[in-house]
């Protein structure tokens, strides 16, 4: 193969230079577009602040989240005593409780979404890529699970296993991955027919290597968008379950629990509803704006 060699050491230099020339990947472009989107960028910042507040909640206030003060029951926001959001019916500081609720809600949102992401992507990509009977069978299973009423399903789980934190992740994750699997399967089927996949197959790249190196990176766009839109759904689902008393148990709290308590005392102590509800609403808005921004950034044609 003498023709493949060039005279002199010119190539070595060229290759070194090559390492310095960097192309603009589609992700670079997407990031630039996302950061140019004001709504998405401010949502990212606000969400970051909420996350940091939630993380450092114990350092910001002198009170513990389960610290009951019988002399301070249901007082409105009071800056002199550092009850910035007031206290609840048991005399617990609402600021600390709201931020602790944020921890739980965000954790449930992120973890349950990740669970649904992993299961959904693996399941959907496999079904879509293998196709044929395997696909039929796998997607009929999804259809059957889809038909189960969510609340009914959770109530059964609670009855069988008792109330606990992990059950919540499982229950929500187990429902949310179905939609993810469908989205991923559809995308995989359309990707599978693309010529670069054929090229990889013709080169002898194995099925799972193709899924990993070609299908997954190309799936990432729609999946990332769906993830950012799933997190708020999961947070809402958790709130709903907690509101019904099936979710987080005292003294642990979440936005759903706080809103549920606030709703009961809405007329006498409106701050008990207002602060957690505002936090949750802002968070949900932020996630939705980011999801929208990501969708526009990743696939500018759909804007």
Neighbours of 241 (CB within 10 A): 26
Does position 18 interact with other proteins (CB under 8 A)? The reply is yes
Query: In Å, how far are 29, 59, 103, 118, 157 from 108, measured between CA atoms?
Result: 31, 22, 8, 15, 17
Does position 23 interact with other proteins (CB under 8 A)? The reply is yes
Instruction: Give the nearer residue to other proteins in terms of CB position, either 2 or 80.
Output: 2
Candidate residues 8, 25, 59, 149; the one interacting with other proteins per rule CB under 8 A? 25
The answer to whether 274 and 265 are in contact (CB under 8 A) is no
Does position 9 interact with other proteins (CB under 8 A)? The reply is no
Does position 17 interact with other proteins (CB under 8 A)? The reply is yes
Query: Whole-number minimum distance, CB 1 to other proteins, in Å?
Result: 7
Candidate residues 7, 202, 250, 302; the one interacting with other proteins per rule CB under 8 A? 202
State both tokens at 287.
């996630």
Candidate residues 7, 80, 203, 301; the one interacting with other proteins per rule CB under 8 A? 203
Instruction: Give the nearer residue to other proteins in terms of CB position, either 92 or 214.
Output: 214
> Phi, psi (5° rounding) for residue 65?
-70, -20
Instruction: Give the nearer residue to other proteins in terms of CB position, either 25 or 268.
Output: 25
Does position 200 interact with other proteins (CB under 8 A)? The reply is yes
Does position 14 interact with other proteins (CB under 8 A)? The reply is yes
Does position 217 interact with other proteins (CB under 8 A)? The reply is yes
Does position 201 interact with other proteins (CB under 8 A)? The reply is yes
Instruction: Tell me, residue by residue from 47 to 86, as one string, x for binding to other proteins by CB under 8 A and - for no binding.
Output: ----------------------------------------
Query: Whole-number minimum distance, CB 113 to other proteins, in Å?
Result: 23
State both tokens at 277.
């509800």
Quick one: CA torsion of 284, 285, 287, 288, rounded to 10 degrees? 120
Question: 215: which DSSP letter?
Answer: I
The answer to whether 155 and 216 are in contact (CB under 8 A) is no
Does position 301 interact with other proteins (CB under 8 A)? The reply is no
Of residues 151-190, which lie at the interface with other proteins (CB under 8 A)?
none
Q: List Cβ<8 Å contacts ≥24 apart for 35-40.
A: 37/293, 37/296, 37/297, 39/289, 39/292, 39/293, 40/289, 40/290, 40/292, 40/293, 40/294, 40/297
Separation CA 293–CA 225 (nearest Å) = 9
Tell me which stretch binds other proteins (CB under 8 A): 15-23, 92-100, 263-271, 279-287: 15-23
> Phi, psi (5° rounding) for residue 203?
-85, -5
Separation CA 74–CA 265 (nearest Å) = 10
Query: Whole-number minimum distance, CB 253 to other proteins, in Å?
Result: 42
Binding site for other proteins (CB under 8 A): 1, 3-6, 11, 14-15, 17-19, 21-27, 194-196, 198-205, 213-214, 217-218, 220
């Amino acid at each position: 193969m003498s023709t493949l060699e060039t005279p002199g050491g010119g190539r070595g230099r060229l290759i070194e230079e090559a390492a310095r020339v960097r192309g603009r990947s589609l992700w670079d472009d997407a990031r630039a577009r996302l950061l140019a989107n004001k709504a998405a960028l401010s949502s990212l910042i606000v969400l970051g602040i909420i996350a940091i507040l939630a993380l450092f909640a114990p350092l910001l206030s002198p009170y513990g989240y389960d610290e009951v003060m019988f002399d301070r029951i249901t007082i409105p926001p009071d800056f002199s005593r550092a009850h910035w959001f007031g206290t609840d019916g048991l005399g617990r500081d609402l600021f600390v409780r709201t931020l602790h609720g944020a921890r739980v809600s965000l954790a449930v949102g992120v973890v349950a979404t990740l669970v649904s992401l992993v299961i959904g992507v693996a399941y959907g990509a496999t079904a879509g890529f293998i196709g044929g009977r395997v696909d039929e069978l796998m997607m009929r299973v999804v259809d059957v699970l889809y038909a189960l009423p969510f609340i009914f399903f959770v109530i059964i789980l609670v009855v069988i296993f008792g109330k606990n934190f992990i059950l919540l992740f499982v229950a929500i994750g187990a429902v949310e991955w179905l939609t993810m699997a469908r989205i991923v399967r559809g995308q995989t089927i359309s990707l599978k027919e693309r010529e670069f996949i054929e090229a990889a197959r013709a080169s002898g790249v194995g099925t799972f290597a193709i899924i990993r190196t070609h299908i997954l990176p190309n799936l990432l766009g729609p999946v990332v968008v769906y993830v950012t839109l799933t997190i708020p759904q999961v947070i809402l689902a958790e709130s709903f379950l907690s509101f019904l008393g099936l979710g987080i148990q005292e003294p642990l709290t979440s936005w759903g629990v706080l809103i549920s308590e606030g709703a009961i005392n809405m007329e006498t102590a409106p701050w008990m509803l207002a602060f957690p509800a505002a936090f949750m609403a802002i968070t949900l808005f932020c996630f939705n704006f980011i999801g929208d921004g990501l969708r526009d950034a990743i696939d500018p044609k759909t804007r």
